[in-house]
Amino acid sequence: MIPLLSLMGVPIHTAVGTCLAFVACSSLAGILQHVRQRSIDPVVVLTMTLPATLMAIVSAHFSSLVSRPVLQVSFSLLLTGVMVMYSLAPTARSLHTRPTTAATASRWYIIQRQRSVGEISYHYDFDMLKAILSGTATGLLSGFFGIGGGVFLVPLPAVVLRVPLRMIAGTSLAVFILPAIVGAYTHWREGNVDVGLWLPLVVAGIVGSQVGARWVMHMPPAMLKRLFLLLVSAGAVFMLVKGLTE
């Protein structure tokens, strides 16, 4: 979204704040469909939301203090890191895979999770300590760069927390709602939210989130992964060129 707004001529700081406000509303709209599909892990959401929210408040304030070229180049580097993380995302394990070892299961901060999405059941280990650290990093980067679940929270649960790919979209939306709201409010106080631009984005985002929530459930994971990498790589190249040429 931020590369697209920059392409339209929107200043980077305004793009960051407006994008975060847009993500807050689109997340609220899209979460309903994922709740009906049961593609949300509530334990992951509750563990990550608090640290993400606290860091979003702090990082949103400091984002306005960075110069435009530095913010643009930094955003490009962030997207490059996201591509690396997402390319390492593992294939989701089904319920019939080999159970975890006793040593792993005995750790108090690791919870064995079992969730069903559609006709497929998944079994995975959830590391609460990694989730807290991931939530902190998510809030820091989302508040600073105005990114949403689709950019950072998608590869993070897959690579670090080992959440099944079919559950990542809904879980990411649920985690990001509160941090996005408080981060957007902080950006608004700094004068970095264009309300006139935000309103049409929200209307388009509500429609798109409903369609996307249905679409992602029927798309093969490999194709979803390739599409995501293509979009992120295009944004990374554009933001790098723009930051170096201003």
Strands (E), 64-159: 110-117, 120-127
Pair of tokens at residue 120: 């497929």
Q: Is the pLDDT of residue 119 over 50?
A: yes
pLDDT of 78 reads: 85
- Going by pLDDT thresholds of 50, 70 and 90, the confidence category of residue 92 is very low
pLDDT of 149 reads: 55
The rounded distance, in Å, linking the Cα atoms of 154 and 151 is: 6
Of 9-18, 41-50, 225-234, the range with the lowest mean pLDDT is 225-234
pLDDT of 217 reads: 65
The rounded distance, in Å, linking the Cα atoms of 88 and 82 is: 10
Q: Is the pTM of this model over 0.85?
A: no
Q: Beta 110-117 vs 120-127: how paired, if at all?
A: antiparallel
Q: Is the pLDDT of residue 104 over 60?
A: no
Residue bearing the bigger pLDDT, 227 or 179: 179
Of 5-9, 30-34, 210-214, the range with the lowest mean pLDDT is 210-214
- Going by pLDDT thresholds of 50, 70 and 90, the confidence category of residue 132 is very high
pLDDT of 165 reads: 73
Nearest to 145 by CA among 21, 59, 244: 59
- Going by pLDDT thresholds of 50, 70 and 90, the confidence category of residue 152 is low
The rounded distance, in Å, linking the Cα atoms of 232 and 151 is: 8
